[in-house]
Structure formats: structure tokens, C-alpha cells
């Protein structure tokens, strides 16, 4: 023990002056370090693709099995909120991308501004998602003990949706399968929202550090890789929006 500390202390004191402080000793160069980190980030994102892919596959299989229930279920979603949220998320991806550029070109104020805008847009997304969830609770469309089949057995009981889609009443056994649609709806959007919440948390941490110039001194790997994560969450939503809101409007 004492020997190893002695060796560590015995290292030449000026060893750190030969390379930037953020270059780890097990890498040859900054480029190699950033290549390795980007590669690792992509491996992580691929596991995320597989994770969401499993949920998407479950959705597609059940949609194929209980098609009328899934069509009726998706008619209960509001396309306007969904579109608005898509736009909010695309804007946040844009501000995040601009943030990465600001970090790379060492613009501290620009970076803090971009990260703050991304943070606010992320919260907007969650707020709109909250309005939609509240609507589901009020309509008793949340799977569980208080789930109500009324909207599907008697579509005219919900005049707004009926005016838009003129859904025919479902048979009882098919109507009960709408609960599967909403289970998958909450699983998919809930996991997506969890990713957003984690992302917003990390954004807060990054804004705090960026104000002291942590990412504008040449070491931008963290901002870049967080950007990949944020864009990935946007990408999942692009597919969620199409699958949950759009593809069943005319059946």
C-alpha cells in the first residue's frame, strides 16, 4: 500500500503539463478519447433502441390482434396536443443542436441560453403531456380498477370524439381490449416521459456547470453526448406520434 502511494507521488510533477487536463491517461490523444466516448454513447443508444423497439413490437402485435379496439382507443387521443408536442420537441432538439455548436465554438453565453431554452421546452412537453394524462384520468381511460368502457360501448356519450370519427359501438369483448391499448399508451409515453425527466435533470446540471465555462474550454464531449441522448428521445417521439396518434384516424 505505502509503496504504491510512494510511486504515485514519485511521478514527475509536470506530467500533466504535456496534455490537456481533460485527457485521461489511458488514451493516446484527445481525438482517440472522444472517438471512444462517442462509440460508447452509441452502444448505449442502441440498447435504448432495442428497449423501445420491444415496446413498439408489443404495440404492433396487439394492434394486429385487436384492431377495432386499437382504432377506437387511438380516436380518444387529441391530435392537436400530439402535434403541438411534436413541434415543441423538434424545437428543443434544434436548441440542443445549437447548444452543441456553441460549446464547440466556445460561446459560453450562447451555450447557457441554448441549454436553458432546451430545458424550458422539455418542461413544456411534460406540461402538455400532463394535460393529456389528466384528460385520460377524467375519462376513466387509465387501465385498472376505475377503467370505463363507456366511450367504446356507447361512442355517442362522448360527443366531441363522436363528431370527428363517428365510431360504431364495439362488442363487449372487443371493447375490453381497449384497456390493452391504453396500457401500451401509458407504458410507451410514460417511458418516453421518464427519459425526458432524466434529460431535464441532466440539463439543469449542465446549465449550472456551463455558467462557469465548463464546456467552453475545449472539452465538449459531455454536451455532445447528452445532445445525442436528447435527439434520441426526440426520435422515439417521432415514431410514437405516428403510431399512437396518426395511423388509425380513418379506420
Residues that bind other proteins (CB under 8 A): 18-20, 28-32, 34-35, 38-39, 42-43, 46, 49-50, 53, 56-57, 60-61, 64-65, 79, 83, 86-87, 90-91, 93-94, 96-98, 100-101, 104-105, 218, 224, 227-228, 231-232, 234-235, 238-239, 241-243, 245-247, 249-250
User: Backbone phi, then psi, for 154, in 5-degree steps?
Assistant: -135, 80
Least distance (Å) between residue 80 CB and other proteins = 9
CB of 151 to other proteins, least distance (A): 21
Closer residue to other proteins, CB minimum distance, 153 or 235: 235
User: Are the C-beta atoms of residues 99 and 114 closer than 8 Å to each other?
Assistant: yes
Output the smallest distance, CB 191 to other proteins, in A.
17
Query: Which lies closer to other proteins via its Cβ, residue 119 or residue 226?
Result: 226
Residue 193, C-alpha cell as written in the block: 416521459
Cβ(149)–Cβ(41) under 8 Å?
no
C-beta of residue 170 within 8 angstroms of C-beta of residue 68? yes
Distances in Å between the alpha carbon of 167 and those of 95, 131, 136? 40, 24, 18
Angle between helical axes of 30-65 and 178-210 (0-180°, round to 10): 160
Query: Could you tell me the smallest distance in angstroms from the CB atom of residue 159 to other proteins?
Result: 20
Of residues 87 and 198, the one with the C-beta less far from other proteins: 87
Amino acid at each position: 500500500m505505502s509503496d504504491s502511494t510512494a510511486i504515485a507521488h514519485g511521478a514527475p510533477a509536470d506530467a500533466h503539463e504535456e496534455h490537456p487536463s481533460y485527457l485521461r491517461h489511458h488514451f493516446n490523444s484527445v481525438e482517440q478519447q472522444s472517438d471512444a466516448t462517442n462509440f460508447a454513447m452509441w452502444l448505449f443508444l442502441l440498447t435504448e433502441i432495442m428497449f423501445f423497439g420491444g415496446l413498439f413490437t408489443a404495440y404492433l402485435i396487439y394492434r394486429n390482434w385487436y384492431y377495432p379496439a386499437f382504432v377506437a382507443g387511438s380516436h380518444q387521443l387529441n391530435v392537436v396536443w400530439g402535434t403541438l408536442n411534436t413541434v415543441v420537441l423538434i424545437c428543443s432538439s434544434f436548441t440542443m443542436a445549437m447548444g452543441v455548436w456553441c460549446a464547440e465554438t466556445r460561446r459560453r453565453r450562447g451555450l447557457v441560453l441554448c441549454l436553458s431554452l432546451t430545458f424550458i421546452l422539455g418542461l413544456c412537453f411534460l406540461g402538455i403531456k400532463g394535460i393529456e394524462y389528466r384528460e385520460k384520468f377524467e375519462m376513466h381511460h387509465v387501465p385498472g380498477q376505475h377503467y370505463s368502457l363507456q366511450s367504446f360501448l356507447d361512442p355517442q356519450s362522448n360527443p366531441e370524439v363522436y363528431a370527428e370519427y363517428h365510431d360504431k359501438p364495439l362488442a363487449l369483448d372487443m371493447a375490453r381490449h381497449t384497456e390493452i391499448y391504453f396500457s401500451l399508451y401509458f407504458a410507451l409515453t410514460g417511458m418516453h416521459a421518464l427519459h425526458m425527466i432524466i434529460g431535464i435533470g441532466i440539463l439543469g446540471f449542465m446549465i449550472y456547470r456551463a455558467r462557469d465555462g465548463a464546456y467552453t474550454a475545449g472539452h465538449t464531449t459531455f454536451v455532445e453526448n447528452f445532445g445525442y441522448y436528447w435527439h434520441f428521445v426526440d426520435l422515439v417521439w417521432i415514431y410514437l406520434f405516428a403510431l399512437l396518434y396518426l395511423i388509425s384516424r380513418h379506420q
